[in-house]
Amino acid sequence: MISGALRRDPEAVAAWAAELPRAASVVVYCAHGHELSQGAARALAERGIVAQYLEGGIEEGWKARGGALDRKPPGAATRWVTRERPKIDRIACPWLLRHFRLTDPALARLAVIVRGADTARLAAAPQAAGLHAISLGLGRIFADEHEMLRHGMVLYAALYAWCKEGQDELRTWNPGAYR
């Protein structure tokens, strides 16, 4: 199986196509990249979903080009699952789990900001209102949830860096001095 892929029945496209997120874009593949994947991609496109098929399938299209395959042990979890249109907590949680141990003092500072933004208690930390506004903005400019998550990860990495070592930095640049 291709890393990150989901197994779907090609004969039941109508049933699972309705479960795809708005503005979904998918790549369909089968063992050889012939009728099954082409038919499924066509059926998805007829439903308004941007769909392509992997020419050559797993054998000639993926393996031959050195593509990685997952060998999932039986019963092993494979992905983080969240609701559609992730916001503050749905981006913060995977970011925190991927990057940090829970004993980090900067993480504790970040948690106060995230909690304030996520619960609309914007007075919890001065940065909570900004995080809240930026998170809502991410939802307005990215239709694709994975793209929004990718950009949200950068946002949280920057906020963590500020919590860790940037709090004492003053803005000393004076644009008026250069006029």
Distance CA 167, CA 96 (A): 20
Burial class of residue 129 (count of CB atoms within 10 Å of its CB; 0-12, 13-18, 19+)? middle
Which whole number is the average pLDDT over 98-123? 80
Among 48-57, 120-129, 158-167, the least confident range: 48-57
Which whole number is the average pLDDT over 26-38? 79
Distance CA 155, CA 83 (A): 20
- Which residue did the predictor score with more confidence, 72 or 69? 69
Average pLDDT of the chain is 79
- Model confidence at 87, pLDDT cuts 50, 70, 90, reads confident
Q: Residue 69: what pLDDT? A: 65
Neighbouring C-alpha atoms within 13 Å toward the C-beta of 163: 21
- Model confidence at 26, pLDDT cuts 50, 70, 90, reads confident
Q: Residue 82: what pLDDT? A: 56
* pLDDT above 80 (res 60): no
